[in-house]
Amino acid sequence: DGGITQSPKYLFRKEGQNVTLSCEQNLNHDAMYWYRQDPGQGLRLIYYSQIVNDFQKGDIAEGYSVSREKKESFPLTVTSAQKNPTAFYLCASTKGGTYYGYTFGSGTRLTVV
Amino acid sequence: KNEVEQSPQNLTAQEGEFITINCSYSVGISALHWLQQHPGGGIVSLFMLSSGKKKHGRLIATINIQEKHSSLHITASHPRDSAVYICAVVRLETSGSRLTFGEGTQLTVNP
């Protein structure tokens, strides 16, 4: 079955280290997204990509970087510049254009100690 | 004011009760998603709606586009329904579609 795979489900890192979260989809979707969730807040957009080799900053991109070298993969790197990296991270995808159905990963909970 | 508001923020029910979670939004949308987030964080997509009503098992979702409102109903609630329920609206923009999320409703169903 097609879907989005986020791995790992739980991730622990030491402060000051960069960490890369994986997001892979086999849906042939053009658009992919990364969101962050903090306690008591709605999910907020970090980065998105509408097409391979292109991506745009979302509302809270500072301290994060992404790449989109392949259609099926959209990894997110949490850099040491991100002041509060501990959060839940969600990846999503959609066909793009005027299509409005999204598919969601199950998420990765990152804890920085 | 948030573009997507959910109510209530927290809801405690007894097993078997009928539950309603509401989602109101202030922008024009193309569709609305309901998501379930279990303790430990995993997200499950429940419904996508652009009009009317959908049913899956004990879950029913409705949307009224004119009133900018959606509801998620759970019939015969069970402790395993305890989770955070999140609504997310889809807007189509010139650069593509965009999701805006509500803050979620924490549901606890006691046996």
pLDDT 10s digits, A84-98: 999 999 999 998 776
pLDDT digits (tens, 9 = 90+) for B29-74: 989 999 999 887 788 999 999 999 999 999 999 999 999 999 999 9
Task: Identify the band that residue A1 occupies on the pLDDT scale cut at 50, 70 and 90.
Answer: low
CA angle A36, A38, A40 (to 5 degrees): 135
**Beta pairing, strands B10-14 & B59-64:** unpaired
B96 and A33 within 8 Å at the Cβ level: the answer is no
Considering only CB atoms, B97 lies closest to which of A42, A94, A109, namely: A94
**Contact (CB, 8 A) for B39 and A10:** no
| Cβ-contact A13, A110 below 8 angstroms | yes
- What integer pLDDT is reported at residue A111 of this predicted model? 93
Query: Over 90: is that where the pLDDT of A39 sits?
Result: no
pLDDT for residue A44 is more than 90: yes
CA-based nearest residue in chain B for residue A50: B96
